[in-house]
Amino acid sequence: MFDNLSTKLDRAIKTLKGQGSISEINVAATIKEIRRALVDADVNYKVAKDVTDKIKEAAMGRDVLTAVSPGQLMVKIVYDELTALMGGEKQDITIKGDPAVILLSGLQGSGKTTFAGKLASFVKKQNRTVLLVACDVYRPAAIDQLKVLGEQIGVEVYSEVENKNPVEISRNAIEYAKKNNKKVVIIDTAGRLAVDEQMMREIEDVKAAINPSETLFVVDSMTGQDAVNTAKTFNDRLNFDGVVLTKLDGDSRGGAALSIRAVVEKPIKFISTGEKMDALDLFYPDRMAQRILGMGDVISLVERA
């Protein structure tokens, strides 16, 4: 889509050439171009404005190297800023307590149930005993879905077919885990909209009842401008500890990731990259920055120069 960004940037700061450094006047058009490129990668509009202000500040007065074009230099500056904004370093989840409880939340279809299976498999590989809990009492066949995944990875699934109360189910599941020596409990919940007051209260109640050591917000990487509103509301209600970004095996730029990070200031902890149970990765800010920008070649070029 915007693979010609560096060409555009070159054109936008044409006047810069021969001047030797970046200044207020020659950078204005470039900044607008960058803002548009970010928005096209689904970075929230307001976040894109803030980011480009920072970029402008960082670029001001920088000397233009002869080995690279001004546009390429700008791309590198943008990349560095994006990486910094996404938190710099990777962060792990907290697995604490007896049992340790992990609560999943998010919009409909974001990939919670699939991620629940992946995380269970990930934890199991660390030689911990795991229990998956089916607290989605609404979606047709939600329990079956989790059970199929549990079977695939060899992890037990706790469910109560007749019980429609997620607070009770999750409480009972923890009792069950204690009795059956399960050290980690992962709770799958129904998808819900941030504007659905009743459903948001439900998950608040679940959280209050079980006191998880880690609450995660699972979000589809293809999400557009709305990602920010949603993440903000979920964070206000749940004060979650981290974000899981799903469906990154697609070709979305994933600008929502940057926006969420910028708005709720919570780290992205995992990325989900497929439908199979092993398609789970830790999150690396630099790789994500590169993806949002879509210009890996230019960045390494400038790094070498």
Partner 1 sequence: EKTKTNFFEQLSKAVVGKNTVDEAVLDDLETLLVHADVGIDTTVKVIDRIEARVARDKYVNTSELDRILREEIVALLEDNKSGSTAVLDRAGSTGQPYVIMVVGVNGVGKTTTIGKLAHRFHSAGKTVVLGAADTFRAAAVDQLIIWGQRVGVPVVSHGMNTDPASVAYDAVQKGVEMGADVVIIDTAGRLHNKVNLMNELSKIKRVMQKVIPDAPHEVLLVLDGSTGQNAFLQAKEFTKATEVTALAITKLDGTARGGVVIGISDQFNIPVRYIGVGEKMTDLQLFDRHTFVNSLFKK
Rounded-to-integer distance, Cα 173 and Cα 102, Å: 12
**Residues 258-277 interacting with ligand GTP (rule: CB under 6 A):** 272-275
Interface mask (CB under 6 A) for ligand GTP, residues 170-209, using x and -?
A: --------------------xx-x----------------
Tokens 């879509």 correspond to 294
Minimum gap (Å) between residue 162 Cβ and ligand GTP: 20
Q: If binding is defined by CB under 6 A, does position 112 make contact with ligand GTP?
A: yes
Minimum gap (Å) between residue 84 Cβ and ligand GTP: 26
How many CA atoms, within 13 angstroms, populate the side-chain half-sphere of residue 275?
2
Which residue among 44, 52, 113, 170 contacts ligand GTP (CB under 6 A)? Answer: 113
Minimum gap (Å) between residue 280 Cβ and ligand GTP: 8
Site residues (vs partner 1, CB under 8 A): 1, 36, 39-42, 45, 107-111, 113, 138-142, 144-149, 152, 193-195, 220, 222-227, 229-230, 247, 249-253, 255-256, 275
Q: If binding is defined by CB under 5 A, does position 113 make contact with Mg ion?
A: yes
Closest CA to 145 of 135, 297, 234: 135
188/241 with CB nearer ligand GTP: 188
Over the range 223-261, which residues count as b (16 or more CB within 10 Å of their CB) and which as e? bebebbebbeebbebbebbbbbbbbbeeebbbbbbbbbb
Radius of gyration over alpha carbons of the chain, in Å? 22
Rounded-to-integer distance, Cα 14 and Cα 35, Å: 18
DSSP-derived secondary structure for 146-200: HHHHHHHHT-EEE--TT---HHHHHHHHHHHHHHTT--EEEEEE----TT-HHHH
51/174 with CB nearer partner 1: 51
Q: If binding is defined by CB under 5 A, does position 235 make contact with Mg ion?
A: no
Which residue among 7, 19, 21, 108 contacts ligand GTP (CB under 6 A)? Answer: 108
3-state secondary structure of 119: helix
Chain residues binding Mg ion by CB under 5 A are 112-113
